Structure 1
């Protein structure tokens, strides 16, 4: 695309073609926020919700109980009939919890023409198979064009039309060709872009997916530190070391470093680890404070708790050390919270650089002293 500097507009209108009719499959807070984003961008929007009480509440009050502060315009169709939501859609956005994506995609696939692409907004790794979300879609919807959308996004702020940046990634047939106006990521970006919603495009699907899957587990660790009263220094350390873990895991699956340091990696991690608006942070904080962090079956999913096992399993399979994620998994499996965080602090000393652990390690002096005291007691 070429630009006329005098007008700041394309000299020739070769902009990517937008998708006009969007079906958002998943009527939770994030699905609702994305439906509102698409509507504000001028698209026709249908929102499918599994829960009948959500559809009933929207019909009565134009409010979703999962996102009660946001008005849903009357021309946004909200339904629990999948066929109605998908009819005539030229883009489908899948916004289900990660462990339910396979089931939802299996319902969508037979109802969708083969040339309609999908955008994956689930963040996680399938526990039973170890597959990333894109790999789940490849298995359930073979041959279908797809993109992933991720980034630092609290649904409530997006729904309130507050400034937000995301990454949209879709595979490039030939990375040497770069992006072009027909690239799926470019088309999805112009479809959702507005004055307050700014998408960036990427060809690194794996990097975007790894960042989204692992950051929720790290956020639980930050919440635990908050609940234990360990202070801001501890949270900064966990975020930084968590980013190192995400980076090492991402590089092991072929992700690009710049993606892991971008919105879908470092950006999403910083947001999720720093606010009680994050369900994962709040859940960890309750654990750290000694509360029973109950996940109600009909409530919002805590993705970090759902994905801790699958993230750690992938890391172990690839030989990637992820001590922060391992600590979260141990706590979720019943290990004492305070003792688990102490174990993290007393791990062997080693270089900070990603991948340099094998260069040098030595036992933590405090651990040696502690063991000696126990033996002499």
Structure 2
């Protein structure tokens, strides 16, 4: 398959490597010519994946038209809140029969749309040509060839199988799913819960606390997913609990690490400065996921708490106190 990865961050670069290792013809697009030169000359992206040697067949390009020409699979590897703007620039160059694969995990702040919905609205492509890839996929570990699994979701199972074949390698095992809603909600919500786990860790709390946050975060995700029509079994799998555990537990997770700095007392701006000016996806997603939940009458107290810390000036200790002070109730995972 002829594939192009639009975006040369850590996950986009790792996915380009996976596609090349699977035997595809791979291009990777980046705005910066110095990054493209580095990929073509040194077969490395030292800015985002230092120490990882990329297959020599990966070709870096800066031209959107060149990147998208004669392409079967377009991998959208830009942050969720910038996806719409990028798609508007790419739209006229997209091959009409290509599959568009989203790597972004989030809910658009301005519209409440999931990433597949944004892709469909901007490009006019039918849902059967839009897929998402999600799961416990930490970019550095996958780029190192460590064993991992993922989920390729598309409403058209045959198209999902085409992408599955394109990304399958000896170390990367893809499963298919037609529940796009469940896969996307799991991917968006877990970034917010990972921030909460990082904040708790930064305050010095241990494994009991983290297990509690992960489990209650899963309950929130299930409630929202079910309200939107997701299959609960999706959220019990790789796209739900699998992605949640990896993102909430690993220091390689930007959301977990970002939250930990805030738990140690850093402001949002200080935490951002410590991550080379990059804001964790969960910071913005805490607002958009919360708005989506409120629209559908779903209670998400952890998400509300993270939003309050990131956007309303609440301190992390105050967040913990507010959560512990909530009224006791039965443990339920359904709509109640």
TM above 0.5, yes or no, is yes
RMSD: 1.5
Q: Distance in 2 between matches of 1:298 and 1:235?
A: 26
Match of 2:284 among 284, 293, 306: 306
Q: Distance in 2 between matches of 1:51 and 1:306?
A: 25
Q: Distance in 2 between matches of 1:40 and 1:320?
A: 42
Match of 1:58 among 32, 39, 63: 39
* Aligned residue in 1 for 2:315: 336
Q: Distance in 1 between matches of 2:148 and 2:65?
A: 31
Task: Pick closer, same or farther for the CA change 1:300–1:75 going to 2, 3 Å.
Answer: farther
Alignment deviations for residues 99-127 of structure 1 (CA, whole Å, 9 cap, x no partner): 01111212222102211111111100000
Q: Distance in 2 between matches of 1:339 and 1:298?
A: 27
Q: TM-score, normalised by structure 2?
A: 0.94
In structure 2, stretches of 5+ residues that fail to align are: none
* Deviation beyond 4 Å, 4+ runs, structure 1: 296-301
Q: TM-score, normalised by structure 1?
A: 0.84
* Aligned residue in 2 for 1:115: 97
CA-CA distance at 1:356 after TM superposition:
6.6
* Aligned residue in 2 for 1:43: 24
Match of 2:327 among 348, 362, 365: 348
Q: Distance in 2 between matches of 1:298 and 1:50?
A: 18
Q: Distance in 2 between matches of 1:317 and 1:161?
A: 41
Match of 2:223 among 227, 241, 248: 248
Contact 2:151 2:177 in 1 (8 A): yes
In structure 1, stretches of 5+ residues that fail to align are: 1-19, 173-178, 358-377
* Aligned residue in 1 for 2:161: 186
Q: Distance in 1 between matches of 2:319 and 2:279?
A: 24
How many aligned positions are there?
329
* Aligned residue in 1 for 2:133: 149
CA-CA distance at 1:74 after TM superposition:
2.5
Match of 1:285 among 235, 240, 260: 260
Where do 1:1-377 residues align within 5 Å? 20-64=1-45, 65-144=47-126, 145-172=129-156, 179=157, 183-292=158-267, 293-295=270-272, 299-333=277-311, 334-355=313-334, 357=336
Contact 1:97 1:301 in 2 (8 A): no
Structure with max Cα Rg: 1
